[in-house]
């Protein structure tokens, strides 16, 4: 997993509308919460996405943006986003190349680990957490990012 204080690797991935989205675009308006998750529609990933959805008004008020990354297709992300009314970007890393760049590939190269990064507007990782099975750790991370959101710009 990438260390705090390092530059976040740039990437471009399709979103849930199948539009190409680059990290630079996501950082344009300010800091970003970039979270990696194993799969759409699984119990833990759904719970995590809905926790972030429920915090989203506070996230926006703090000047932060959110993007989720997992290996499913844009169509899967679109269905997931629509079913759970997710107001943030979901990115399709079908080749797991971005997961590799961020060091969040699962054990033995299988799957994707649950990890969340706070990236400032200059592209520096300011905080990070990996807690594969502890979904609540990611919600705590987001709340901590809310408290420091303005200072991460």
Out of 8, 45, 55, 128, which one is annotated catalytic? 45
Strand, coil or helix: 2: coil
Question: Of 9, 64, 58, 6, which Cα lies nearest the Cα of 31?
Answer: 64
CA distances from 66 to 53, 106, 107, 109, 110 (A): 10, 22, 26, 26, 25
Question: Of 130, 132, 127, which Cα lies nearest the Cα of 145?
Answer: 127
Give the pair of three-digit tokens for residue 108: 């033995």
Strand, coil or helix: 101: helix
Residue 45 annotated to the active site: yes
Catalytic residues: 45
């Amino acid at each position: 997993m990438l260390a705090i204080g390092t530059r976040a690797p740039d990437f471009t991935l399709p979103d849930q509308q199948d539009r190409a989205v680059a990290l630079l675009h996501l950082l344009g308006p300010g800091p970003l919460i970039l979270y990696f998750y194993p799969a759409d529609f699984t119990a833990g990933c759904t719970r995590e996405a809905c926790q972030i959805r429920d915090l989203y008004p506070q996230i926006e008020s703090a000047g932060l943006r959110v993007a989720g990354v997992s290996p499913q297709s844009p169509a899967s992300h679109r269905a997931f986003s629509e079913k759970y009314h997710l107001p943030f970007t979901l990115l399709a890393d079908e080749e797991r190349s971005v997961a590799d760049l961020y060091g969040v590939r699962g054990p033995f190269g299988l799957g994707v680990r649950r990890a969340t990064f706070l990236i400032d507007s200059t592209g520096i990782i300011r905080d990070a957490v990996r807690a594969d099975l502890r979904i609540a750790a990611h919600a705590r991370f987001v709340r901590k990012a809310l408290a420091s959101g303005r200072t991460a710009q």
